[in-house]
Each structure stands twice: as C-alpha cells, then as structure tokens.
Amino acid sequence: MTDLAIDVRGLTKRYGTRTVVDHVDLQLGRGRICGFLGPNGSGKTTTIRMLCGLLTPDEGEGTCLGLDMRHQAGEIKRQVGYMTQRLGLYEDLSIRQNLDFVARLFELDDRARRVAEALDRLGLSSRKDQLAGALSGGWKQRLALAACLLHDPRLLLLDEQTAGVDPKARRDFWDEIHRLAADGITVLVSTHYMDEAERCHELAYIAYGRLLARGTQREIIDQAGLTVWALRADDPQRLTEISTALNGADGVLSVAAFGNSLHVAGQDEAALKRAIAPHRDGGQQDRGLRWERAEANLEDVFISLISRTPDNFEAAS
C-alpha cells in the first residue's frame, strides 16, 4: 500500500440534491500516469479538487501521498502540483516574475536558483522577460507547468491542460509528463482526447459522477465486451443516413463516425447483426457499402458506456 500515491474509497460530493461525485474508488501507483476521462460535468474537476484538499468530501476516506485526505489537507497541498482549467497566471508579469511570485507563495529557499532551473527545464529561459499575456497557448501551458514544479511536488493533478493547444505543443507537453513520471512523479490528468488517453499508463472513466471503467487501455477494451462493425462508403451522405437510422436501434450501443467510415458497436453480437442487416442487404441503394468486423477502440468503449449510464442529474431534478 505504500506504493500508492492515491488510495481513496467511496469519495462523494453533493451540492443540494445533486450528487456530482458518487462513491468513487481510485488507486494510483507512484510514478504512474492515469488518464481521467469523462464528458463535461462528469465530476472530474470536483474529484481532483477533493484529492488535493481544496474540497472536503461529504463521504469517503483515503490517503493522498500517504496523508489522510480529510485531516492532513494542508500537508497534501504542499506536495501537489495542480494545474487548473484556467491557468492562474498574471498576464502583466513576465515569465520570470510569475515564477518568482509562485516561489514566494511557497516560501521556497534559494528562489533564484529554483526559478532558473524551472526556466531551463521547460525551455523558457530565452523568453523569461516576455509578458505572460503575450504568450501563445502552448507557451502559457509550459509556464503553468513550470510553476507547478517549483516546489518539487510528488503528485501532479492536471485538469484538461491541452484544450486549445496546437498538436506540437500537446506532444511536447506529453513528452515532459512522461519524463516527470520516469523521475517518480505521479500524474493524474483529465482529458477529452483519445490520442492523449492512449499515452497514459492506465485510465479511469467517469460519467455522471460514477466511475465506470478502470484499467489499462487493453483491459478497458477487453472488459467492455463490444462487437464492432466498420462501414465504409463512397457516398458520405449515405453514411449519415445509416448513422441516423442505427442510432437507438435494438442491439446498437453506439454509432461513431471516423472520417469516411462508421463504427457500429453493441454487446449482443446477434442483435447487432440484426440491426445492421437491412443496410447490408438493402439492394441498389446500398451498393458501394463495405462492411467488415473491426476491433473496438477507446472511443467506441466510452460512447457505449455513456449510452447505458443513467444521468443522475435528471434523477435529482
């Protein structure tokens, strides 16, 4: 158990009649990268804030970095780096001034050395006198990560940090995250991007406050037990028509477009075959359609999980 950076059970948070995090169990080993996935409003940010001591859970218990999350929240905060959805930077201060300000907040010794090391590590030295407000999204992201690392945290909590960042900046960011994990820092990162999920050591998927799936990418796909048919067509309009017809059909859990193809997924193989049969043998209008069995991917799994999970907000309304 000493190898777990996060070990919480029954984590619950309510606002009025709405349960936004519903008895979540989460364990994460030291030096691991866990992708925390889920739609907007699923409870990811609330969970992250409880883990780092910013919110007190209504129910649940456990430890973060070996510290009791209820009674040692102050100590946890000093060992966690938390990058929020909205980057907490002072736009009228330079990169160096922002980092120096954060170092003062943490009352760090030898501030000048720590700031210089952070600038070097994130490739910010040549821009240290540039105002934060003049930076692009990718450079702001680097600055925010540098600020999070100043106090040598043992756990990084990253809340949708790559939204609105260009592909190269996202790749550079993830390369740095893997270097940090190799140094023993544990990372919990929420994301909407499936390509980012594939970069994580393990995944946790939450929707409507409930943890729906947990494990490696391979484990989650295998546990879903999905049968998937891929449809390719010369006519994109025909794909749209078939997608509309199959959405909600018996045996169909999800229909997702991928470029010029559709993935149609279900758990009952026979029922799924019956659902797509009219579009496989539909005569003249369905010439040019190419159906083939496919392997489920993460997006197939997550769309199907959402489709069969009740919305607890509707129940509370």
Q: Tokens representing 35? A: 């992708």
202 phi and psi, to 5 degrees?
-155, 165
Across the chain, where does the E strand assignment appear? 4-15, 18-29, 33-37, 59-64, 67-68, 80-83, 155-159, 186-191, 202-207, 210-215, 227-233, 254-258, 261-266, 289-294
- CA angle 276-279-282, nearest 5°? 140
Nearest to 163 by CA among 182, 143, 188, 189: 189
Q: Which CATH number fits domain 4-218: 3.30.565.10, 3.30.9.10, 3.40.50.300, 3.40.50.620?
A: 3.40.50.300
Stretches where the chain sits below pLDDT 70 are 1-2, 162-164, 281-287, 309-317
Asked whether 190 and 113 are in contact (CB, 8 A), the reply is no
Asked whether 18 and 314 are in contact (CB, 8 A), the reply is no
Q: What is the pLDDT of residue 317?
A: 44
Q: What is the pLDDT of residue 257?
A: 87
Average pLDDT, the chain: 89
* CATH class for the region spanning 226-295: alpha beta
Q: What is the pLDDT of residue 314?
A: 53
For tokens 């998937």, the residue is 228
DSSP letters for 255-276: EEEETTEEEEEES-HHHHHHHH
Tell me the per-residue pLDDT of 96-151, one tens digit each, with 9 for 90 and over. Answer: 999 999 999 999 999 999 999 999 999 999 999 999 999 888 898 899 999 999 99
Give the count of beta carbons closer than 10 Å to the beta carbon of residue 110: 10
- Residue 78: C-alpha distances to residues 103, 144, 151 (Å): 12, 16, 8
Q: How many whole angstroms separate alpha carbon 273 and alpha carbon 102?
A: 58
Which residues make Cβ contacts (< 8 Å) with residue 18, sequence separation at least 6?
Answer: 312, 313, 316
Q: How many whole angstroms separate alpha carbon 53 and alpha carbon 215?
A: 25
Q: What is the pLDDT of residue 34?
A: 97
- Residue 132: C-alpha distances to residues 147, 155, 276 (Å): 12, 25, 54
Q: How many whole angstroms separate alpha carbon 54 and alpha carbon 73?
A: 8
Q: What is the pLDDT of residue 286?
A: 60
SS3 94: strand
- Can you give the residue ranges of every domain in the chain? 4-218, 226-295
- Residue 256: C-alpha distances to residues 149, 155, 242, 301 (Å): 39, 35, 11, 11
Q: What is the pLDDT of residue 136?
A: 86
Q: What is the pLDDT of residue 273?
A: 93
